[in-house]
Structure formats: structure tokens, C-alpha cells
Structure 1
Amino acid sequence: MVTDMRTGNPTKLILKFAFPMLIGNIFQQLYNMVDSVIVGKFIGKNALAAVGSSFSLMNFVTVLIIGLCLGSSVVVSQYFGAEDYTNLKRVVSTSFIFTFILTMILSISTFIFTKPLLRLIQTPEEILDGSTYYLKIVFAGLIFTFLYNMAASILRALGNSKTPLYFLIVASLVNIVLDLLFILKLKMGVEGAAYATIISQAVSSILCLLYALLKVPMLRMSPKEFVFDRTLFPVIAKYSLLTCMQQSIMATGMVAVQGIVNTFGSDVIAGYAAAVKVDSLAYLPVQDFGNAFSTYVAQNIGAGKIDRVKQGLRSAVRTVFIFCVIISTGILLSSKQLMTIFVDPSEVKVIQTGIDYITTVGIFYMLIGFLFLYYGFFRGVGNLTMSMKLTVVSLGIRVLMSYILSSFPSIGPKGIWWSIPLGWIIADAIGFIAYKSGKWERDVSKI
């Protein structure tokens, strides 16, 4: 099943397309949170800190792969919008080969250098071994991360966001069951959480890939059609690598912030780890709405419908505003209850650290909502350079201000939390100016 976004009500189309993505990501966040809840509740705060400290590096590597897949999917959407199905197949096969090679290089290199990377971000010695064991297992299973995200990105580029959701729900349930088995029953510690993660990813990737190959006619290819097209490759590489760079910059910033957090000890690391899980879940609706908006924009750009793109943006801004007001209110009213999901109520310092983070950042979710829209918009019109610039500004300011503000003893880790909305608001201002300048419209008209 595919979705044509070139006609119909923009708000309904984007919401309908985004909703399955949102549910899928909620399930994905759910099983990530289950790892943290079970580890934090049944192994202890050091184990939670080990998993939390590992998350920034794991996320860094994962988003590189997601960026490669997401970038190539924009090209797929544009060819779908232009109804050029011959080149669509060649884009898919070329993207698959290219991203597979890069994933294998990434998997091998990160597996070898896991411990040096953890030392680089100043991981405390008491959690270093646990973090190392966890990450080595995850890095060994990156092939499954690639397979799922490539198949899911292509399906979503064609307007099918429901099928990846179904398989992700299955994987989430598998992960939760395996977490309980490996950690509680078999006493495998943080390694059990890692094994549960990669096994569940294997399930979702195989199911999603098989569906794409067997059930979507335009993706069925003979051996002769599965080629590496050197003519299309420069365009695919441009979109993939620029999106990957954007994602990697974002993840690098998170790693850098994690390094600053690590200097404050295990209590702050554990509190930050739990709060980030809540934070990631809270702004998922606007993140997925931005990704859905990117597909909407790309299909309409491919069809040459500029006015419809503008109409969609106006609608998207109103929708994001409503989402963020609701989300911020809910987060602020329930911050303490959310933190006690992850850690025992007796861990007062850990809980207070998480509350400080959630209440500081949660007020400003509207800023990140608009930023996700700008990411999706500029990616959809093909201006990945601007999308990357916004990421550089947002993360650069966050890292710089985190380092400066947290260095004052009277501010401490709270300076890290306040640096986040500072980065968002400046990046939003730049995105708004770039849109109003009209340069993107002139560039699109030349295609």
C-alpha cells in the first residue's frame, strides 16, 4: 500500500501518515525504556548509568545508518511523485548496496574501538566494563539496524508508514519478553539487555525486508534490475551523506554533552539517562510529524506543486503548536512520577537531577517542534545543506553553552539543561529567515 500526498487535505494526509510512525517509535522507545527500567530497578543505579552512558555512542552510530537511509528515501519519494518507477527501482538498489557497505565498515570499526570511545567521553571506571560489554553486542548487530531502516524508509517514502509499525510492535514485544528472561531469569545483567535489543531488531528487519520485496510490486526486482547505478549514485550519495552528516552532527553533539554530564558522577549520569528517555518519548509526535512532512514536501516537489507545499507548511505549524502545548503541560505536571518509573524513590539525587532536566527542557518543546518542521521542509525540497546548518547551529550552541554554563559551580549540570533550548531558538530563527527569503523556491524552479 502506498499513499499519494499530491492531492487531498494536507493536515489529514500528514497526520494519517505520521500516526503509524509515531506509534512505531513509541513502541521503540518503550522497549528502550524497558531496558532502563529493568536495569535501574533490578540491577542498580550503576547499571543504569552504564546503559545510559552507552546510549549516546549507540545513538551516534545508529543515526548514521538512519541518516543514510533517510537521505536516499527522499530521492525515492521524488521519483515516486514524478511517476518514474524505472529509476525508482535503480535508486533503491543503488542505495541498498551503498549503505550496506558503509554499515559493515561502521560495525567492524566501532566493535574494535568500543572501550577507547567510551574513555574518550570520560566514562567513569566503575561503569566502564558494563558499558563496554553492552556496546560491543549492539555494534555487532548493526546489520539488523541497517536492514530495518532501509526497508522502512523506502516503504515510508512510498507513503506506507503502517507496515513498518506492525513489525516494530512485534519487535518491541519480543524485546520486552527477552529483557525479562535475560535480566530477571538468567541474570545476564546489562549484556542481557543488549542481546534482547539486537534479537528484536533482527526480527523487525527480516519481517520488514521480506514484506517490501514480496508485497510491493514496484520494489520487486530481477537480478538484472538490482544494480549499482553510477549515474544516479551522485544524487543518492549527496542526499544520503548530507542527511547522514546532519544526523551525525546531532549525535556528536549528544556525545559531547554526555561527556560533560559524565564529569558529574554516577548519580547525575543515571538521572540524565532516565530523563533523556522521557524527553525522547515526549517530543516523538513532532519529530515524526516533521519526518512525515518531509515525505509530503518531496512528493509535491516531484510533482511541481509549490503552492501545495506552502499550504502544507502553514497547516503543519498550527498542528505542531497544538501538539507541543499539550505535551509540555503533561510533562511538567508529571515529572516526578515519570522519574520514579526508572529508579527507586530512595535515590533522591538521581530523581532530582531528572526532574531538573525535564522541567527545564519541557517548557520549550514548541521550539524543537518547529525545528523538526524546518528539518523536514528543507530535506523535502532538496536543500540538505540548510537542514545540516540548522543542526550545526542547534547542537553547536548546546555543546558550547553546556561547557561554559556547567563550569560555574553555582550552576553545575543545570547549565547543560538550559543550553538545549538556547540552541533550539537560534536554529529556529535561522530556519524562519531561510524560508521567508524564498531562495528554496527559486532553487526548486530550476530543477
Structure 2
Amino acid sequence: YIYKRFPQLHIHRSDFNLDWPELWAHLRMGLPMAVQFSVLGLGIIILQSVCNKFGSDQIAGFTTAMRVEQLALQPMISFGIAMAVFTAQNFGARRFDRIRDAVHRCSLLTLAFSLFAAVVVFAFGEEVIGIFLDNPSPTVMEAAHLYILYTVPVYFFLSQIFIYRNACQGMGVSMIPMLSGVVELIMRSIAAIYLSVPFGYEGICMAEPIAWISCAVFVFAAYHYFVRLLEKKYTPVN
């Protein structure tokens, strides 16, 4: 009955033929994203390798703080996914006004979340860290708490990376996510390597905020450039 009513649902052998232009379109979007995640993973490895020089307590504190950070990242990742889907749909409809409005609203929402996260961590930081540790030593707790105190105040910049990077991805500007990952890798690596010399473990804690702020500035500028460029390109001249 379904096939009779909806004949377009019939599956034919031709449906499985490779459409090279469509395949290339998927590769053009997917490969830069794959490179982006590889580059970000490399940055975390470099940061961890520098941290390993400071002893087991600092390693344990840093690893625990990263777990807390991953927990806080989940709402930001969700905003980013929603932004990519919404932007792609409205880019197809050439509704750049909706894209701009969505980016603005998501920025305000993530600002509220960042402030909430900062209040929770500053008020209950040790309790949050204690969720991931059993009877930690004071040194481990101090190392984890120090990292969080440096990173939480710049969660807003981290959230903007997800919003603007995914907005660019939704508009088909696939190179921006990859380049933003490169910017983040370079700044994180330079900061971790060179700041750890005069400041020790505290220099590693500074590396993430420096990387996030630098990357946020890059994707912010890239988004505003390309949204104006694409809007001008696809808006008909009366």
C-alpha cells in the first residue's frame, strides 16, 4: 500500500550508484572536520606531555580537572550541534536574518550558562572535584582546583567557539573549523611550553584560556566576514 501511494519510495539499483559530485560535497565538509578533531586531540596530548613533567599529584589533579571540564562542555556541544543544524537549514533557505538572530540568542544563552558555571565552581569547586576523586591528597585537590579557577572564567569564550565554528560549518565554510583547530593547537602548545618554564604547573593552567580566547576571536571574525560575504552573494539585487 505504501509503495502504491508513494511510488517515489521504491528502491532501485540506480539509487546505490555513486554520485561523485555529492560524494565530493560530503568529503569537502567532512575531511576538514576530521582534521580539526585530530588537531585538537594533538593539542591535548602536547598539554598532557608538558604536565607529566611536574609529578604524579599534578598529573592526577590535571586529569581530574579535565573530567570536570568535559562535564561542563556538554551543554556547549549541544548548543553547537543545534547551531550547525539551524544554520544549515536557514542557509539553504537564504534566511541570513534568522542565522544572525540565532547566533545572537545562543551567545546570550551561553553567557548565562557560563556565569552559572562560574558561580557553581567558585562556590562548590572542591565538592565538584570530589565527585571524581576518593580521598584525594591536598596537593591533588589544589592542582585540580587551580586549573578550574583559571579556565571557568573564560567558559564564555569557549562557548563562542562552538557557536561561531558550527555556524560557519552550517553555511558550508568548512575550512574555518579546521583553521580554528590549528589556531587553538598553536596557541595552546606555545603557551603550555613557554609559560610552564617561569610559572610551572600554573603556566599549564594558563594555556587553555589563552587558546580559547585566541580561537574565539578567530571564529568570531571569520563568521562575521563570511555571513556578510554570503549574504551579499545570495541576496538578489532589486
Change (3 A) 1:220 1:377: farther
2:238 corresponds to 1:427: no
Change (3 A) 1:416 1:227: farther
For residues 22 and 197 of structure 2, what CA distance do their matches in structure 1 show? Answer: 49
Task: Tell me if the contact between 1:286 and 1:320 (Cα under 8 Å) persists in the aligned partners.
Answer: yes
When the two structures are aligned, how many residues end up with a matched partner? 227
Q: CA deviation at 1:224?
A: 5.3
Choose which of 162, 172, 175 in structure 2 pairs with 1:382. 172
Q: Which runs of 5+ in 1 are unaligned?
A: 1-217
For residues 431 and 322 of structure 1, what CA distance do their matches in structure 2 show? Answer: 20
CA displacement, residues 203-262 of structure 1 (integer Å, 9 cap, x when unaligned): xxxxxxxxxxxxxxx999666534433231111111010111111111111111111112
Residue matched to 2:20: 230
For residues 17 and 119 of structure 2, what CA distance do their matches in structure 1 show? Answer: 51
Residue matched to 2:63: 273
Q: CA deviation at 1:335?
A: 1.5
Task: Tell me if the contact between 1:243 and 1:384 (Cα under 8 Å) persists in the aligned partners.
Answer: yes
Change (3 A) 1:261 1:303: same
Q: Which runs of 5+ in 2 are unaligned?
A: 1-7
CA displacement, residues 329-384 of structure 1 (integer Å, 9 cap, x when unaligned): 11222221122222233522211111111111111111101111111111111112
Task: Tell me if the contact between 1:332 and 1:363 (Cα under 8 Å) persists in the aligned partners.
Answer: no
Letter of the structure 2 residue corresponding to residue 401 of structure 1:
A
Task: Tell me if the contact between 1:381 and 1:444 (Cα under 8 Å) persists in the aligned partners.
Answer: no
2:119 corresponds to 1:339: no
Residue matched to 1:248: 38
CA displacement, residues 2-29 of structure 1 (integer Å, 9 cap, x when unaligned): xxxxxxxxxxxxxxxxxxxxxxxxxxxx
For residues 45 and 234 of structure 2, what CA distance do their matches in structure 1 show? Answer: 35
Residue matched to 2:100: 310
Task: Tell me if the contact between 2:103 and 2:164 (Cα under 8 Å) persists in the aligned partners.
Answer: no
Q: CA deviation at 1:283?
A: 2.5
Residue matched to 1:38: none
CA RMSD, 1 decimal: 2.3
Q: CA deviation at 1:407?
A: 1.8
Q: CA deviation at 1:413?
A: 1.3
Residue matched to 1:417: 205
Task: Tell me if the contact between 2:180 and 2:218 (Cα under 8 Å) persists in the aligned partners.
Answer: yes
TM-score by length of 1: 0.48
Task: Tell me if the contact between 1:249 and 1:395 (Cα under 8 Å) persists in the aligned partners.
Answer: yes
User: 1:45-444, aligned counterparts within 5 Å?
Assistant: 225-408=15-198, 411-437=199-225, 438-442=228-232
SS at match of 2:20: coil
For residues 152 and 11 of structure 2, what CA distance do their matches in structure 1 show? Answer: 47
- Between 1:426-435 and 1:298-307, the stretch displaced more is 426-435
Letter of the structure 2 residue corresponding to residue 428 of structure 1:
A
SS at match of 1:421: helix
Task: Tell me if the contact between 2:125 and 2:145 (Cα under 8 Å) persists in the aligned partners.
Answer: yes
Change (3 A) 1:325 1:440: farther
For residues 246 and 346 of structure 1, what CA distance do their matches in structure 2 show? Answer: 35
For residues 383 and 434 of structure 1, what CA distance do their matches in structure 2 show? Answer: 10
SS at match of 1:364: helix
Residue matched to 1:153: none
Change (3 A) 1:221 1:245: farther
